[in-house]
Amino acid sequence: MSNEPHPPAPEVAAVAVPAVPADPVADPATATPVRPAPPARPERAATRYPCSGRARVVSLDNRHQDGAMFDISKSGASVVLELKMPMNQWYTLKISVFKDGVVHNFAVNGFCVHASLARESGFKHGFEFDKPNEAALRSINALTGPTNTRFGLR
């Protein structure tokens, strides 16, 4: 290495870079919305508990589809259905789950926040519960509480 100074860098012409739109869901040419941005949702805070049972999902116009429960939490449930139901709509979930020798049957209103393909078995839907009544709340608490520890299971 020598102590001689480096030659000056060559002059570089400035290049105009197009501005990135602040809203990624807006058309950059007109700044008009292309589609509404999804609402910000916090991650599912409640612990999920796998469960085996049935659920009937009933739409507001009384169409229904029967499916299999995948998991449940204090705030919602996942149900696998043969056909994909529209998201961002309210449904009535009629749930029947067996746990610790007891069949828990209850109905609760739920908002569909997620629907994705679940391999060959259908579509997995995520529902957030809306203020369950006392009977539904008792069943939800029983299904999301500790399991029978007689065999060392938790």
d(CA 143, CA 94): 15
Sign of the dihedral defined by the CA atoms of residues 131, 136, 138, 143, in that order:
negative
* Topology of the domain comprising 49-144: Thrombin, subunit H (2.40.10)
The string of pLDDT tens digits covering residues 24-59 is: 444 555 555 444 444 555 566 688 999 999 999 999
Residue 74's pLDDT is 93
The string of pLDDT tens digits covering residues 53-89 is: 999 999 999 999 999 999 999 999 999 999 999 999 9
Enumerate long-range contacts of 24-28, CB under 8 Å, 24 or more apart: none
Q: Does the predicted model carry a pTM greater than 0.85?
A: no
Q: What is the mean pLDDT of the chain?
A: 79
Split at pLDDT 50, 70, 90, the class of 20 is very low
